[in-house]
Amino acid sequence: MRTLKHLFQQNREWAAGIKAQDPEFFSKLAEQQSPQYLWIGCSDSRVPANQIVGLRPGEIFVHRNVANLVVHTDLNCLSVVQYAVEVLKVKHVIVCGHYGCGGVQAALADTKLGLIDNWLRVIKDLRVKHQNILAHGEERTRLNILCELNVIEQVKSLCNTTILRTAWDLGRELSVHGWIYNIEDGLLQDLGVCVTNPDEIEATYLQAISRKRV
């Protein structure tokens, strides 16, 4: 139990499989990474970034936290975004939520889970902010709408970071995308909130929110 041998066994098999296809793969990758994408997604074990979009090691830079939040005081997330945008010079940043998110569900139901309640406070505030949209429908539907609203809000939050604003001011070509993943069928859906410059932030946000109103 101290060594988790089966995971090391699986690791050796995985590495051997890749080497069999491309003997130089790891030695080339060790020299540098040049991913074009930054993924900001949920920590949920069912939402693995690389596998979902079929990308290999070296092709996507990843930050995950519970409920895929971009909080302006979260140095961890901001450092990842800054490194990806300014050093790696990624072209696309993807905020990807997922239906049935446990973090969003806990915020919606106001479940007490401990320390994490503080982290989920952001989504509880969104629940109040969008209470008109969330006033009707079955619990499952309301949960999934809040999952979508959360992505829309985090896209806006990301676009308003000093990092993205500075990159756009410098004329960098950089797109922010908002997607949602369905655990039940493995498929991604684009929420239509792509932002490519600061002038688009507010209009894109308002349009997306108005689509959620019934």
Residues designated catalytic? 42, 44, 46, 98, 101
In the chain, where does DSSP find H-type helix?
5-21, 25-31, 49-52, 75-82, 102-109, 116-119, 121-129, 139-159, 162-169, 201-212
Smaller CB distance to Co ion: residue 38 or 67? 67
Options 97-105, 109-117, 147-155, 168-176: segment touching Co ion (CB under 5 A):
97-105
Instruction: Examine residue 101 and tell whether it contacts Co ion (CB under 5 A).
Output: yes
CA-based angle 44:195:207, to the nearest 5?
A: 90
Smaller CB distance to Co ion: residue 44 or 201? 44
The maximal CA–CA distance of the chain, rounded, in angstroms, is: 57
CB 127, min distance to Co ion, A? 15
Binders in 23-62 for Co ion, by CB under 5 A: 42, 44
Give per-residue burial for 115-134: e unless 16+ CB within 10 Å, then b.
ebeebbebbeebbeebeebb
CB 97, min distance to Co ion, A? 7
CB 164, min distance to Co ion, A? 23
Options 15-23, 100-108, 157-165, 174-182: segment touching Co ion (CB under 5 A):
100-108
Pairing, β 187-190 against β 92-98: unpaired
Options 54-62, 72-80, 96-104, 153-161: segment touching Co ion (CB under 5 A):
96-104
Smaller CB distance to Co ion: residue 42 or 94? 42
CB 182, min distance to Co ion, A? 12
Smaller CB distance to Co ion: residue 150 or 204? 150
Total residues contacting Co ion by CB under 5 A comes to: 3
Token pair for 47: 């939402």
d(Cα 131, Cα 60) in Å, to the nearest integer? 35
* Among 178, 209, 163, residue whose Cα is nearest residue 68: 178
Find the length of the chain. Answer: 214
Q: Which residues bind Co ion (CB under 5 A)?
A: 42, 44, 101
